[in-house]
Amino acid sequence: MRVTALAQQQFSLDQIKNLQGRIAEKNIAITSGVNAQRYSGISEDSKRLVNLEATHVELTRFMGNNTIIDQRLQTMETNVSQLGDIASDIRTQLVSAINAGNAPVSGIDVLAQNMIDQVSSILNVSFDGRFLFSGSMTNTPPVDLNDAAFLTPPGAYPSTADTTYYQGDQQILSIRADVDLTVNYGVTADHPAIEKLIRTLHLVATATVAPVPDLARLNEALAVAEEAARELPLVVAGIGSARKSLETANAIHSETLLYTEQTIGDLANTDLAEAITLLTADQSSLEASFATLAQMRSISLLNYL
């Protein structure tokens, strides 16, 4: 090495080192599938990538929580629909017993008692360790029809509501389904429509139908049963509305999540075709640089004498 060629040779060596570094980075990018091992490797896009990754985490959390709540609501929707079927059934049985004059032999009181047990079981359903109809008291079964305070409806008509069987609270739960969307969901076992069904069954079960039916009591039960049968489908519709809100929110989240994942992939993942093309170009440049450096070192003053 001569003083006159030192600067040129040093420049060539620096260029070779840069090329070798780029080639090493391209090899790692191709092998790992990731553009850079650190955010500094994509400094111009790092802030955007961090924001997108944070959005991805948030969207995933929203969708997961919404799905869990929807599963609870699906169970509630099914169970309240069953209550509506029971209300319709007891109404039909009452009409038959009263109009046909066969209440003494219809066994409607026994049927009503069986239905009471069924209603209690439906309302005390638990999902994933949570009682669904207890409001925020998810560790407490919502219905206790043997509660000492829950009395047989008196013989004065029209009858009045009695929800002392209910063991939960009045809290209607809510979920933050999106950044700016909160959805109230669920129903408690002391809902007026549910109370009317329980009162209907309690009236029928305690109407002495054999040998002499209490027709006044059965007629009162029929009036309350008609209200319950009319109102319970509205409760089902309310639960369905909450499910629809969650479904719509998750559909929007899903589309945004897809775009976010694609953008993150564009920023963070290696474009193999581009990386291989650049790697080939850098390898060619490196070979040319080595050839140039070798030629510079082989030149001597004797070549010009």
Q: What is the pLDDT of residues 59-88, one digit of tens each?
A: 999 999 999 999 999 999 999 999 999 999
To the question of pTM greater than 0.85 for the whole model, the response is no
90, containing H or E segment: helix 46-99
Residues paired with residue 143 on neighbouring β-strands, in sequence order: 166
pLDDT at residue number 293 = 57
Burial 30-45 (b: 16+ CB within 10 A, else e): beeeebbeeeeeeeeb
Pairing of strands 173-178, 181-185: antiparallel
167-220: pLDDT as tens digits? 999 999 999 999 999 999 999 999 999 999 999 999 999 987 666 778 899 999
Residue 155 has pLDDT above 70, yes or no: yes
153, 195 Cβ separation under 8 angstroms: no
pLDDT at residue number 294 = 60
pLDDT at residue number 157 = 93
Model confidence band, residue 237 (pLDDT cutoffs 50, 70, 90): very high
Task: Tell me the domain boundaries of the chain.
Answer: 1-33+271-300, 69-244
Model confidence band, residue 47 (pLDDT cutoffs 50, 70, 90): confident
Q: Does the domain made of 69-244 have the CATH classification 1.20.1640.10?
A: no
Model confidence band, residue 264 (pLDDT cutoffs 50, 70, 90): confident
HSE at residue 208, side-chain half, CA atoms within 13 A, is: 3
Q: Which whole number is the average pLDDT over 90-97?
A: 92
Model confidence band, residue 17 (pLDDT cutoffs 50, 70, 90): low
Residue 29 has pLDDT above 90, yes or no: no
